[in-house]
Structure 1
Amino acid sequence: MTRLNFFLHTALEHLRHGGQRIGVAVLCVAFGVMSLVAMTLLSSSLERMLVETPHDLIGADISMDRSAEDAILPEHIEGLDELVKDGVLGKYTLVAYTSSLTFHLPDSGELRFPNEGIGIDPAAYPPIGALSVEGSESAGLPTLLAEVGDVLVSRDLALEYHLALGDSLVLADLNAGKPLPARIRGIITDTPNHKGSKLYYSLETAAQLEGSDRSLNTVLATTADSEAAESSLKALGWRVFMANDLAEADEFVQDLFATLLNGAGVLGLLVSGVGIANTMQVLLRRRQREVAVWKSLGYRSSDLMVLFALEAGILGLVGSLLGAGLGVAVSYGLVDLFSRTSTMLIRWVLAPEPVLLAVLVGVTTTVVFALWAIVSTSRVSPVTLLRGQSASAAQLPRFQSGLLFVLLAVPFTAVISLIMGSFLKAVGVLAGALVGLAVLGGLLGGLLWLVTRLLPLHGLPLLNMARGNLARRGLAPVFALVALFVGVTALTLASVVTQSAYRVIDSVTLETQGPNLTILAPAEQAKQVTAALDKQGIEDESVNYSTRVRAIHLATDSQQVLSPVLTARTDLSGYTFTGADWGSKPDGVYTPEMDKIPEGSLLKVELWDGTIRDLPVVGSYRVDTEQVLAPEQGILLPVELSQSIAPADQAQYWAHIPAARLAAAAGELGGLLPNATVINLVAYSARFTAMYHNLFLFAISMAGLAILAGMLLMANSVSLSVLDRRFEIGVLKAMGYTRGHVLLTLMVEYALVGLLAAGAGLAVVKGFLWLAGLRNEVLASLMVLTPEVAGGILLFTLCITLFTVLAVAWKSTQVSPLVVLNDRE
């Protein structure tokens, strides 16, 4: 048997008989690799969605809309054709984009609210690239969207609402309110910008939804010279968005996500490295007598370093393979949760390179963090054994310690550079992590020091003993304290944000005196809507009107344009005014507060027939979006003045119905008004519930990783504490203390650690909310850390702490005192 084979066999035997402590060390490695694999696979999934060539981002080189108008007219298209003839533009396609599209099933009045509805020319969209439709190899977009009402639905909407090919829908645009029967002709698997929550349909369908021929509002075009095209288009009144600029913004977002996610994976590695270092230091310290024997038999320090490095390498390989498998499973869940909290069409793909790299990094990390203990232990002198003295390793000289630190730091930094994709990023992440650990460890370690010395437990011997043991543990429990603190802080913030969101939603679902149902309909259907409301016994309703004009701009500055919408409301609930009191100047108008139009200014309102109407500005307004459904941020004016300027396009009818009858009344009104859109405002306000729920789950998952790290470090600390105190435990048992007393002592020690981490995390969140509340009163009223949440987190932290202690120490404290006092395993 060669020496290497002998060392390998010996290393395997040592690990096989290592018991629980080796198991904890394997779990520490597994956690680090699991977090690394999960974060890198999530990061690579995001990278596939965000990093692409600029023109692929929008399906063109440039995107544009009108600066003054909100619709593209025939004369605007003529200008585009001239630019194509001059070679400024290549090819272009017209798009009817809306962010106010809704749909529901024919047999249900429950509305769904996708992010975008996009009317396209199927023969020309997109100018660059393609729209990927499931199973459409034999049928192109012109075939799929041949008829009015044919729609394509993005995959995320189909999954969320259980939609399938051939299903019937009813579409409606909140800006028009006219329903349109539709049929799903395809499921979109990918879009030019990889974003979901979209419905695509033809331009003819878009015109039907708008109820007019003014639905076109966006142009996508190709060009060989972006700068020249931008200059020419702006001169013709276009607002231009360059694909290069949008791609740079997306690349920055992706780079930020990648750095944060990969950095989180690196932190997981550091956590596992701390656990490995602690474990190897204690295990090898107890084998110093064995080392002295090896040296007495003629083995050199280098031989022993190979032996122990093999042990660490095998331990790291087993833990890394376990962690890689767990990481793949966790990454699948994280990608699914992340996709539910965003509109991105993220697809989980198992890439072997990050997994294999993580296994390599896990083994390297294990060996690197174990080497310090290995080098120290291998310095045991055999003379101490021959003289009957206790074997102990000599301290490394400072020069050798510094050199060893550099030798260990170089390979670790190198493998982190592979993960981060940059040496500078690796150094930055490691430096930030070390500084953060040092600061947090110092602060929390100081708190732990104060607690262990100031806690009044003198009349309770076992508890006083627990306090003394904890004070002597040094840095071992501090790492667990830091990890638990981070996890508790993240968990508390996620709970506060989610609870605040649900509180807002719940407040809307309660019966109030305000409107809880609205009907959107073309203005000419006023009689039908009024008759339907009367049939339901609803007499107290308000009506608001919306009128779209060609353009609105300041008389003194034609370049300062406003949203070309006239809004006339009879019910001004949720509106706050500055300037003249409402109704005091019936010929004046109010502009949105964010436009910052001075009182006394004159507006030029251009109608579709070219007529110009001058309107004086008498004030500004602000809207509470929680009380007003999809408020138009246009010009606000009295109903009489609006009707004297131009007929209204859409009417909104508001009514209050008792909560018990609301759902039934909404369904009946939907049947009575097939050409209107009936919205149950309670259901509308609760549409974010699922998103907040998924966001909470994602935040909980990320916080759970930190809490799991704290539990593993605590398990490691408990295991090594029991190993270090075997003789003390034997003496206590010989004096009459029971196993229950020993377990109680350990539970008190680490209950202090868990409660301190939870208390510090809650205090930090409370302080953050207090500071945020000083700057924003609305935020202060919404973001509240309730006693129930705080108490629940304290109880949760205490329970997982006690469970960890019992799980690790239950068997270890079962050993007979005679065995311990005789120093037998």
Structure 2
Amino acid sequence: MKPRFYWMYATRSLSRGGQRTILAIFCVAVGVMAIVALQLVGLSVDRALLSNIAAANGSDIRLNASITPFRQRDLAFFDQLRQKDLIVDYATLYDAGGSTTVPSGKAVTFNFLAVSHNFPLLGQPKFLVPSGNRTLQQVLLGNHVAVSSHVFQELDAQIGRTYHIKTFDGRVIPVVIAAEFEEEGAFREPQMIIAQEALATVQEPDGLQRPSQYSTVYITTSSLHLNQVKAEISQTFPSVRVITAQDLLQQRQQQVQQIQLFLRIVGLLALFIGGIGIVNTMQVLLRRRQLEIAMLKAVGYRRFDLYGLFGVEAALLGLLGGSIGAVAGIGASYLVTSVVEYAFSLQLPVVLDVGTVLSGFGIGVATALIFGILPIVQAAQIRPLSILRGGGESIRVTSRLTMLLLLLLLSFLFVILATSILGDVVTALLVVYGGAGALLVLAFALGLLVLAISHLPVYEHSGARPFLWVLAAVGAVMLAGLLFLLLSFFGQSARVFALHFGNAAIGTYLLALLGGAGIVLLGCSFVFLLATLLNCIVMFLPRVWKTPIVLAYRNIGRQWIRTAATLTALFVGVFAIGLVLLLGQGIKDTITATLGTLFTRNVFVVVAPTHKEEVVAQLPSLKGLDGSKTVVSPLVRQLYPLFVGKQDVNTLLRHLSSKSRPGKEDVVGSLNTMQGFDLALGGSNIPTIVLKTGRNLRNTDAGTRNVIVSGKLQAAPIGLQLGDTIVVQSSDGAVTLPLTVVGFYDDTDPTGNPNFAAILADENVASQLGRAATLEVFSLKVDPDQLPVFKQQLSKAVPTAFIISVVDIDAIVNQVLDKLVVMLTTIASLAMMAGLIIIADAVALAMLERRREIGILKALGYTSRSVLATVLIENVLIGLLSALVSMSLVAGAITLLGQFVFHITVRVDPLLLGIMVIATSLVTMTVALLVAWEAASVRPLEVLRYE
């Protein structure tokens, strides 16, 4: 045959396909769109995180000392390194934390960074207002500050305007906005930058000054001295985290690889679902041409000729879908990029990689050809004689062995495509065959459910038989429950066995697969029980309603394999979106409930000791305050541990690896803050804890140095015991005190220590160690309805007061979770879109297969409305089945994640669960309505004339 005929036949066939051709193109387009969009987003993340890594690190070496900040005397060590020519220069930074209240009453919180005169050593922020080639040193004159764009917008700021910033250590600092810079690179977080000299000049009313501290040190050095400098710093300051530009590069490369892998797997999933749509659509297109195919074979066209004809047709579908998907992927990448920026407060560059966009064309063609193999080979198996005689032979392969070989070929080719997308053959094998195993288990369970429901009878009158079905459904639930226990046992055993041989990933996959299969079987059995109960109600409905329901039952079972595949494709999208929404809402509800029970007070006011009396004087006049619940306690925000038991802290930290448990941060973080209590008063002044070992503080501990510390310190190699002594030093180094441990609180319990510090002691001990840096914490009980007025009144009377409520904490957590939910839901929606295309394909194929049946029904008096009602009921059933089973798996997954990953009890919101089920049913019904409208309106004569 000539190439021209191949082209003409393929284009003519596609143009005749009409709506089905459009659906096939959209199947490919959705998958390609997901792949292209997510790959472009991955490239944007890559460029944002990996470009100019030295500037992102701030220097060749960055020292993170947020847990135990450097003190003024520690800077002598870096001066010595500079004198030895081991380093070129160093700069310092301290994050004091800042907040201010805008005229609307909203509190804006940000990082308040005090930097040295030579900061930054590498790179400069990109100034937006005023624009120009300015340096940070030129901006930070006196109390002038530079503000990131996010904070600038939140404050509705203007250049030259003065703001009073409240720091977390109780100071109030007047600043003047001098410049706005873009949040990118090392300056990508919401922040306000001030000169250290300006912060150091701020004095308390009593004339005292806070000791200078530095949470970050930036160092520039030559590559020859890099390792030596890093080793000397680690030896001198073992609690400090040393990060080189190369360390940051490796860390970000791993992060980018994980992000890109996640995005590509999601895109591959959407492409796979779109491929299933190609199978269905090609079956529709070729099914309509059985007579044509038979005539071609009768006049001498061989099977391989037909492969060529249909292959060109599939390639054209892939090319058209790939081109549309590639262009749509560019637009979708903007949407996903903006969502990722919103979720992680990142400034991502716009990346339009020509290779990635053009690869969409090739991916589209490859996908159409790979998934078109099965229907093409099936169509080429038609025997001309049976078709031309009018036998109406359905398209089928000659043997099950051929079907199996075709499926193996399809999977092998898809692995090759996945390898080209993921960039690794092992990962591609795990994703494709691991995912295929999970989908096959899911499809098997859903197939059983489809078969069971399709055989449900609809009775004219009540009797015993409907109740026998209910009993059978109850038995199925019990059997599924037993299978769930067995599968969970085998999954846990497989995980333990895999862990024994060091294959944690395989063990986790097997546990998730078998446990998930058990949950799906259990969910399917409950859905079938629900269906039998509802079926008992159906028999009391009018006959005119029963007929569409009976037809819907039978129709979903006529091609039960196809129905199971449709349910599986829809299940994936519904499960992904449902898991994200329900898990996010469950965590938010759990945190809200925990905060409500964690704190016996709901408002906390933090001030410097010099402003304590101002707050005390205002308490009687504050609205909504329950004065009987007020507790005042001193807080020390920074301590320096010297000895733990008989072990020197620095010696102990040098022996702890970064991956050990407990690690360096666990040790220092458990000893670097202290809260004092007026133990002599007893009662509500005794700290609330969950005791692990020993005893709680009591009124007899007043005036002593007895303390409660974290239970983490009991673990090896620390081995702290009751009665042991820990030695800590004040932030200015002037006071050193030994403390005696009388109890340990339980860190594994969320309510183990609902206080503000790691060490709990008598207030006299805290005041001695805190000195000028001591803060006073007022724990208050305020009527929630009066909270806005309370905050406004106190802020006006005591401007230095830092006020935070449980509502504020809850709002911050909810804001972070909302951003993550929006991002993940947007990504999961790409798979959901592909699932809806499958629904449209399945409805189109079903309507084609039932053309004769529809014609006969309409000839017997059925209206288009009644035919359409049958289709809608059928697809509402499909949506309900998929949503109910997916939500059951979501509920099980959330319970397991809460127990084994988050270690909390995550509540599943039944209202949101119900909304997901109803929404899925409505969406599937709408898609079915749009596709079936024209087919249901066909005139009987047009159909039966050719039958």
| TM-score, with structure 1 as normaliser | 0.88
Cα displacement string for residues 576-632 of structure 1 (whole angstroms, at most 9, x for unaligned residues): 445334223231122233333422111223343544322222223468999999954
Equivalent runs, 1:277-676 vs 2, <5 Å:
277-296=279-298, 299=301, 301-378=303-380, 380=382, 395=397, 412-454=414-456, 460-503=546-589, 514-536=600-622, 541-547=630-636, 548-549=638-639, 551-559=641-649, 562=668, 563-570=671-678, 571=685, 574-577=688-691, 579-582=694-697, 583-586=699-702, 587=704, 588-596=706-714, 597-607=720-730, 608=732, 610-621=734-745, 632-643=756-767, 647=771, 649-676=774-801
Amino acid at match of 1:532: Q
Task: Report the CA distance between 1:365 and its aligned residue.
Answer: 1.2
Name the structure 1 match of 2:11.
12
Cα displacement string for residues 355-391 of structure 1 (whole angstroms, at most 9, x for unaligned residues): 2212321122113322343344345566667778767
Greater shift, 665-674 or 798-807, is seen at: 665-674
* Structure 1 position 698 matched with structure 2 position 816: no
Amino acid at match of 1:264: V
Amino acid at match of 1:545: P
The sequence identity of aligned pairs, in percent, is 25
Equivalent runs, 1:191-206 vs 2, <5 Å:
191-192=185-186, 195-206=188-199
* Structure 1 position 788 matched with structure 2 position 911: yes
Task: Report the CA distance between 1:276 and its aligned residue.
Answer: 1.0
Equivalent runs, 1:753-768 vs 2, <5 Å:
753-768=878-893
8 Å Cα contact 1:552/1:564 also seen in 2: no
Cα displacement string for residues 413-472 of structure 1 (whole angstroms, at most 9, x for unaligned residues): 444333222333333322233222222212222222222235656864543333222222
8 Å Cα contact 1:122/1:141 also seen in 2: no
1:95 partner SS: strand
Task: Report the CA distance between 1:289 and its aligned residue.
Answer: 1.9
Cα displacement string for residues 397-417 of structure 1 (whole angstroms, at most 9, x for unaligned residues): 899878877776666544433
Rounded Cα–Cα distance in structure 1 between residues aligned with 2:188 and 2:331: 24
- Of the three residues 128, 143, 147, the one matched with 1:148 is 143
8 Å Cα contact 1:104/1:169 also seen in 2: no
Name the structure 2 match of 1:241.
242
| Cα distance change on mapping 1:209 and 1:65 into 2, 3 Å | farther
Task: Report the CA distance between 1:102 and its aligned residue.
Answer: 2.6
Cα displacement string for residues 145-170 of structure 1 (whole angstroms, at most 9, x for unaligned residues): 223241331x4444566556555543
Task: Report the CA distance between 1:716 and its aligned residue.
Answer: 0.6
Name the structure 1 match of 2:37.
38
Cα displacement string for residues 187-224 of structure 1 (whole angstroms, at most 9, x for unaligned residues): 223123x7423333322344467952423232122343
Name the structure 1 match of 2:499.
none
| Cα distance change on mapping 1:19 and 1:161 into 2, 3 Å | farther
Rounded Cα–Cα distance in structure 1 between residues aligned with 2:437 and 2:592: 42
* Structure 1 position 808 matched with structure 2 position 910: no
8 Å Cα contact 1:34/1:323 also seen in 2: yes
Rounded Cα–Cα distance in structure 1 between residues aligned with 2:816 and 2:878: 35
Amino acid at match of 2:40: L
2:455 partner SS: helix
Amino acid at match of 1:674: P
Name the structure 2 match of 1:138.
133
8 Å Cα contact 2:446/2:567 also seen in 1: yes
8 Å Cα contact 1:96/1:206 also seen in 2: no
8 Å Cα contact 2:447/2:564 also seen in 1: yes
Rounded Cα–Cα distance in structure 2 between residues aligned with 1:82 and 1:65: 20
Task: Report the CA distance between 1:721 and its aligned residue.
Answer: 0.9
* Structure 1 position 121 matched with structure 2 position 116: yes
Name the structure 1 match of 2:483.
none
Rounded Cα–Cα distance in structure 1 between residues aligned with 2:895 and 2:422: 36
Greater shift, 801-810 or 385-394, is seen at: 385-394
Rounded Cα–Cα distance in structure 1 between residues aligned with 2:586 and 2:836: 29
* Structure 1 position 112 matched with structure 2 position 108: yes
Amino acid at match of 1:722: M
Rounded Cα–Cα distance in structure 1 between residues aligned with 2:711 and 2:728: 19
1:146 partner SS: coil
Amino acid at match of 2:316: I
| TM-score, with structure 2 as normaliser | 0.78
Structure 2 gaps of 5+ residues are 204-208, 461-538, 540-545, 653-666, 679-684, 715-719
Name the structure 1 match of 2:477.
none
Equivalent runs, 1:703-782 vs 2, <5 Å:
703-771=828-896, 779-780=904-905
| Cα distance change on mapping 1:428 and 1:178 into 2, 3 Å | same
Equivalent runs, 1:162-181 vs 2, <5 Å:
168-181=162-175
Rounded Cα–Cα distance in structure 1 between residues aligned with 2:438 and 2:88: 53
Name the structure 1 match of 2:210.
212
Amino acid at match of 1:319: G
Amino acid at match of 2:677: R
Task: Report the CA distance between 1:227 and its aligned residue.
Answer: 3.5
8 Å Cα contact 1:715/1:808 also seen in 2: yes
> What CA RMSD, in Å, does the superposition of the two structures yield over aligned residues?
3.6
Greater shift, 447-456 or 384-393, is seen at: 384-393
Amino acid at match of 2:801: A
1:346 partner SS: coil
Cα displacement string for residues 90-125 of structure 1 (whole angstroms, at most 9, x for unaligned residues): 432222135x433333x35422233x4433235241
* Structure 1 position 101 matched with structure 2 position 101: no
| Cα distance change on mapping 1:473 and 1:390 into 2, 3 Å | closer
Name the structure 2 match of 1:253.
255
Name the structure 1 match of 2:486.
none
Q: How many equivalent pairs are there?
A: 814
| Cα distance change on mapping 1:261 and 1:748 into 2, 3 Å | same
Cα displacement string for residues 295-338 of structure 1 (whole angstroms, at most 9, x for unaligned residues): 45555555544433333233223322332333333322222222
Rounded Cα–Cα distance in structure 1 between residues aligned with 2:76 and 2:579: 54
8 Å Cα contact 1:289/1:391 also seen in 2: no
Amino acid at match of 1:97: D
Name the structure 1 match of 2:231.
231
Rounded Cα–Cα distance in structure 2 between residues aligned with 1:179 and 1:622: 38
Rounded Cα–Cα distance in structure 2 between residues aligned with 1:336 and 1:406: 40
Rounded Cα–Cα distance in structure 1 between residues aligned with 2:379 and 2:588: 57
Rounded Cα–Cα distance in structure 1 between residues aligned with 2:318 and 2:736: 78
8 Å Cα contact 2:701/2:762 also seen in 1: no
| Cα distance change on mapping 1:321 and 1:718 into 2, 3 Å | same
| Cα distance change on mapping 1:667 and 1:550 into 2, 3 Å | same
8 Å Cα contact 2:298/2:384 also seen in 1: yes
Structure 1 gaps of 5+ residues are none
8 Å Cα contact 2:875/2:928 also seen in 1: yes
Equivalent runs, 1:60-99 vs 2, <5 Å:
60-64=59-63, 70-98=68-96
Rounded Cα–Cα distance in structure 1 between residues aligned with 2:917 and 2:388: 54
